[in-house]
Chains A and B, each alone.
Chain A
């Protein structure tokens, strides 16, 4: 098991990260006029800081190695837009809001999705099943940038139950709508996956045996059916994680939440190159790490994977 973890984290995740960093480094050097030239006038002190930071006077291979060394120390350089701040300062300030939002959305998506999927599977081909799957079908298709304004219109403007935007340090009232928008798609997908695999598992011979022994349904579900039925859900957690991070970009912009997603969009709109570059690599690293963790988790549950 330790060997498996080592292989997955050190031999696979690290090289992947290195490829990501290398690809982004060389891609942006293909940009017309050099990576850090903008039409917008840049405060000279920022320009000087960037030139020094990215060693623009040195040969490319030295730039690359220096860049790797900086990243290894977790140093993303100065921001173009906010000249008194480094990218690190801004990311640290924005991280708590995004983390809170993402964590809520992720946990709720998994719990509600699995519960809905299991319910639908147990009541297969009844109106419960059909309504759960109907809602899930809509949830899969409806993009979050349509849902966000729609929910804001209904719950904030018409009913006035919840605020239409803002964060206020993450008070519950301000979290509800963003989390709902962020997790709906994943609830739907997880519900569909769970239903499908649960139906398959419930039809398998060992469940019939357990039933024949006279075990109560709840016990069969918990002890026998749930674990194999959840395997496909676990392999979906990686994509769901990426999706929630991506989705938080839309949700944060719409609801005006001061998080990483908004930082990223503003960086891209203002051409704050170090910010966009740093966040892409940071989020890439997070994703790669999370995918590795999911794989390890999968290996814990299903020993066949470890081989």
Chain B
């Protein structure tokens, strides 16, 4: 939340004269909220390590399928259901149709990460807009908007999404949209709360007294403060989006064959667990590692941006 320290830090750039604004703003760049946050984040070993591992996973998913001689949907009839081996270049083994699991795991990762990022983006955009609007307008509009949000929040969203996918077909873009569209509620609530409390903060009043325009207050004081929280929750949203997609795909309701995602791979792996545990192990390893990384990064960001929120 807003600590007195953040408030004080944001007080500093306020100029006594409008003309000094730019010069002062530049002279304190080195000690801005973001620089401080970066310093604190870099000290957090778990978060930093997670960032590196996550970067590796993203790079792997993006490029590492290239050296493999196999295509993701190409059955290798001589090597069905084999354990990982180097001779045939099936580095993670093959599935029951003889498709190469290494390529499929990385491709699945690409889909999962994409759904995670895009779903989170949709949720962040809707949530921030909705929350900021409610917070700024206040009054009757605010209470109606929040009531609507509460109603939505009391639905079991997973079932609604499955309902939508049943009636409208299982398209990939629909998954993005549906997942994002039901996940913005927390974001909206957080942004609204932030906006409401920021509106009444002393440093905002001080800025107003100094003659900073409404637009200036929003861009210089409200947005940077809200951005921190948004960044934290966006980071925490991505893994929940990935989980959401994996859940759908695991049930066979998400990504459809021959395309795949970590959830879809897990479903196949779970079926073949007795005969071929590696079919489960590799996608599960990637998925769980990714989830851990996002969680650590999110926690690290929260600590970095909100020193008091520990």
Interface residues of A (CB under 8 A from B): 15-16, 19-20, 24, 27-28, 31-32, 35, 140-143, 145-146, 148-150, 152-153, 157, 238, 242, 245-246, 249-250, 253-254, 264-265, 267-269, 271, 273, 276-277, 279-280, 283-284, 287-288, 291
Contacts of B266 in A (CB 8 A): 145-146, 149
Among listed B64-72, B123-131, B190-198, B270-278, interface-contacting one: B270-278
Mask of B267-302 contacts with A, CB within 8 angstroms, 1/0: 101100110010010001001100110010000000
Residue of B155, B239, B266, B292 with highest tally of chain A CB at under 10 A: B155
- List 6 tightest A-B contacts by C-beta distance, closest first: A149-B270, A31-B167, A145-B250, A246-B158, A280-B159, A268-B166
Task: Give chain A nearest CB distance to B156 CB in angstroms.
Answer: 5
What's the Cα separation between A280 and B155 when bound, in Å? Answer: 9
Contacts of B93 in A (CB 8 A): none
Summarize A's interface: helix, strand, loop or mixed. helix
A284 touches B295 (CB 8 A): no
28 residue pairs of the A-B complex, CB under 8 angstroms, read A15-B151, A24-B160, A24-B163, A27-B163, A27-B167, A28-B163, A141-B295, A143-B243, A143-B246, A143-B247, A143-B291, A145-B250, A146-B266, A146-B284, A146-B288, A149-B269, A149-B270, A246-B247, A249-B158, A253-B251, A265-B251, A265-B253, A269-B251, A271-B166, A276-B167, A280-B160, A284-B159, A287-B155
Indicate which residue in B162, B287, B295 contacts A264 across the interface (CB closer than 8 Å). Answer: B162
Total of A-B residue pairs, C-beta within 8 Å: 114
The A-contacting residues of B in range 233-259, CB under 8 angstroms, are: 239, 243, 246-247, 250-253
The A-contacting residues of B in range 92-108, CB under 8 angstroms, are: none
Q: Does B263 contact A (CB under 8 A)?
A: yes
Contacts of B27 in A (CB 8 A): none
Contacts of B252 in A (CB 8 A): 265, 269
Contacts of A238 in B (CB 8 A): 154
Q: Does B215 contact A (CB under 8 A)?
A: no
What's the Cα separation between A250 and B251 when bound, in Å? Answer: 7
Q: Does B168 contact A (CB under 8 A)?
A: yes
What's the Cα separation between A299 and B280 when bound, in Å? Answer: 46
Contacts of A150 in B (CB 8 A): 280, 284
Task: Give chain A nearest CB distance to B40 CB in angstroms.
Answer: 21
A145 touches B270 (CB 8 A): yes
Q: Does B164 contact A (CB under 8 A)?
A: yes
Contacts A32-B169, A145-B247, A246-B247 given; 12 further ones with Cβ under 8 A?
Answer: A16-B150, A35-B167, A143-B247, A150-B284, A242-B156, A249-B158, A268-B162, A276-B162, A280-B156, A280-B160, A280-B162, A287-B156
Indicate which residue in A152, A245, A268, A287 contacts B253 across the interface (CB closer than 8 Å). Answer: A268
A268 touches B165 (CB 8 A): yes
What's the Cα separation between A52 and B280 when bound, in Å? Answer: 47
B287 touches A143 (CB 8 A): yes
Contacts of A24 in B (CB 8 A): 160, 163
Contacts of A149 in B (CB 8 A): 266, 269-270, 273, 280
Given A141-B292, A279-B159, A27–B164 Cβ distance below 8 Å? Answer: yes
What's the Cα separation between A47 and B154 when bound, in Å? Answer: 33
Contacts of A145 in B (CB 8 A): 246-247, 250, 263, 266-267, 270
